[in-house]
Structure formats: C-alpha cells, structure tokens
Amino acid sequence: MKFRIFRSAEDQTGAGPVDPTETPRMGGQVLPEVTPSKARAGAEPRLEDATPVSNATVVDSPPVGPIKIAARDVSVFYEGKQALYDVSLDIPDKTVTALIGPSGCGKSTFLRTMNRMNDTIAGAKVTGRIAMDDEDINDRSIDPVLLRARVGMVFQRPNPFPKSIYENVAYGPKIHGLVSSKAEMDDVVEKALKRAGLWEEVADRLQSSAMGLSGGQQQRLVIARAIAVNPEVILMDEPCSALDPIATARIEELIDELRERFCIVIVTHSMAQAARVSQRTAFFHMGRLVETGDTEDIFQNPRERRTLDYITGRFG
C-alpha cells in the first residue's frame, strides 16, 4: 500500500494548504509517493519494521556541502525543567532545513538557540555548543544583537513595526550603520523588497503604514526587513501558520528562491510544507532529535519508528 505524506492528520490542522489534487514537490521537483521503506515498496507498511529509537545523540545521514551551523549536545532548560536533550545537528548552508515534530517537542526551542533568543527568556538556560562557521555563538565575545542581525528570525505572526513600509526595511541597516546616504538606503530598501517579492506591490506606497498590508504582504515585509541587514541565516518559526493558502504558496516560493543565498531553517507543522520547501529534515520528539537526513529520505524511508508514525499521521 502506498500513501502520501500530505494526507496525514497533521495537515488537516497544520499550516499548509491541503489540496487533495496537490503533488508534493521538493525544491521544484516532484516527490514520488511515500512508501514506508524502499525495501518494502509495494508491501503493506509494518511498523514493527522500523528501528526502535535509542536515546543516543543523533548525527546521522550527514548533509553534503558546507555546514553553516553545527549544534553539539545542545540542551535547554526552562526554570530547571529540561525541554531539549543533547541535540546534535549539522545545518548546511544555502539549504532549507525543516524542523518537524509534534507540538511541544522542542522545535522552536531549538530554533531559538541558533540566534540566542532563549537568552531573552527569564529562567532559560542553554548548554552544549552551537557553532556558526566554526565560531561558538555563545562565546562571551559574541554580541547577541549583532548575532541576531546575522541570524534573522521570522515569526508565526507577521510583526511589522507600526511605521511606514520604507522605515520597516530601513530600520536594521540604520541601527547597524550599514549605509551612509539616503540614496544608498533607498537602494538597500528596494533590493530587500525585491528579494522578498514585495516590491511590485508596494513601490508606489513606501511611505504608507505597514499595518495596512495584508497578512501575507506583512510576512514578506518582515522577510525583507531581515534580508536588509545581510543575514547569513534566516530562522522561520511556522511562518505561514497565520496565512491563507495563496499567501502560503507565495512565501513557499520565496523560501525556495532565498535558499540560493541564505541558510534557512524552518519550523513547520505541515508535512506537505516540509516536503515542498526543504532539502533537509530533522524530526524531533519529546525534546530529542530522533532522526535527520535528506527530506526525500526522511519521508520515503524513515529509519526510526517514531518518524514513520509521525509522518503518516499516527500521532501528532
């Protein structure tokens, strides 16, 4: 029996659009139908076939190409309660890595370790090592404000400043002293809006309030704001969950374009979205990284039983 990942119960409630006629894509390519194991293609999936999960640190199926972020034995505690356990994960550059897993498994917590956003949560403690280009981001010499410009973040709900469209994009380059003239700023704003696929829609109203844009436009504006400071990494925490299917499709196209220039890590509840936009996938469960690998492999041939259960909608 064959089944498709985007039929999972996850997608009935998740952020991604569920279209029964939709064909899953990955990086513009059509994904074949999902089978629980290549070896068992055409046979009934048997959960007993999947390997049981050990509690050992997982760094498997290493990515090809340069690693942008290397996490080693990362644990996170909130008020002493452990939320993330010894996560080790290599995140390649110029690639979209999807973090998937059931609610509360630690996806957002792990995402926040990569730009030290957990530092802003009272009572949160991070242990282990996270290196970006071999540099420990938790080292005392690293300024978290500068780090967050290098590692931008896009949240679930679009959060533009209550200022003009122009000012939203110009804000970062201004506070980081990246431009020296008005003409240069105009150029930075235009380029960022173009890269975020928003320029055509707002070119004639740059001085209008960002709050007047639609939800999807606001999310692209927030992406433009992140891009304007020349980040190396863009973290996205369920960026489409507040958007309708058309706006979601637009953001997914944008993510596919942006990966040529940036390292992108996206948290998503939608299996279809993970399959469409990512090349690498990491599956988390109860604070642990269970399995990681190429997206196609994770969805077609998961090695761990819990991964299989999750991507086939047996739990979520």
Ligand X SMILES: Nc1ncnc2c1ncn2[C@@H]1O[C@H](COP(=O)(O)OP(=O)(O)OP(=O)(O)O)[C@@H](O)[C@H]1O
Site string (60-79) toward ligand X, x via CB under 6 A? ------------------x-
Q: Which is nearer to ligand X, 6 or 284 (CB)?
A: 284
Q: How far is the CB of 103 from ligand X (least distance, A)?
A: 3
CA atoms of 272 and 25, how far apart (whole Å): 8
Site string (7-46) toward ligand X, x via CB under 6 A? ----------------------------------------
Q: How far is the CB of 125 from ligand X (least distance, A)?
A: 11
Q: How far is the CB of 114 from ligand X (least distance, A)?
A: 13
89 touching ligand X, by CB under 6 A:
no
121 touching ligand X, by CB under 6 A:
yes
H or E, element range at 65: none
109 touching ligand X, by CB under 6 A:
yes
For residue 191, the one-letter residue type is K
CA atoms of 82 and 287, how far apart (whole Å): 8
Among 62, 65, 66, 104, binds ligand X (CB under 6 A): 104
Q: How far is the CB of 175 from ligand X (least distance, A)?
A: 26
Segment interacting with ligand X (CB under 6 A) among 21-29, 33-41, 106-114, 187-195: 106-114
Q: How far is the CB of 260 from ligand X (least distance, A)?
A: 27
Q: How far is the CB of 106 from ligand X (least distance, A)?
A: 4
Q: How far is the CB of 160 from ligand X (least distance, A)?
A: 22
CA atoms of 31 and 288, how far apart (whole Å): 27
Residue 213 per-residue DSSP state = S
CB-based burial, 251-280: b 16+ in 10 Å, e otherwise: bbebbbebbeebbbbbbbbbbbbbbbbbbb
Segment interacting with ligand X (CB under 6 A) among 21-29, 104-112, 141-149, 299-307: 104-112
Helices 182-195, 165-175: inter-axial angle, 10-degree rounding: 110
CA atoms of 83 and 40, how far apart (whole Å): 35
164: which 2 tokens?
Answer: 């003009």
H or E, element range at 59: none
Among 31, 74, 83, 228, binds ligand X (CB under 6 A): 83
Segment interacting with ligand X (CB under 6 A) among 102-110, 141-149, 199-207, 226-234: 102-110
242: which 2 tokens?
Answer: 């507040």
Q: Give the DSSP letter string of 170-202.
A: HHHHHHTT---SHHHHHHHHHHHHHHTT-HHHH
- Alpha carbon separation from 291 to 23, 48, 228 (Å, rounded): 25, 17, 34
Segment interacting with ligand X (CB under 6 A) among 3-11, 43-51, 101-109, 144-152: 101-109
Which parts of this chain interact with ligand X (CB under 6 A)? Answer: 78, 83, 101, 103-109, 121
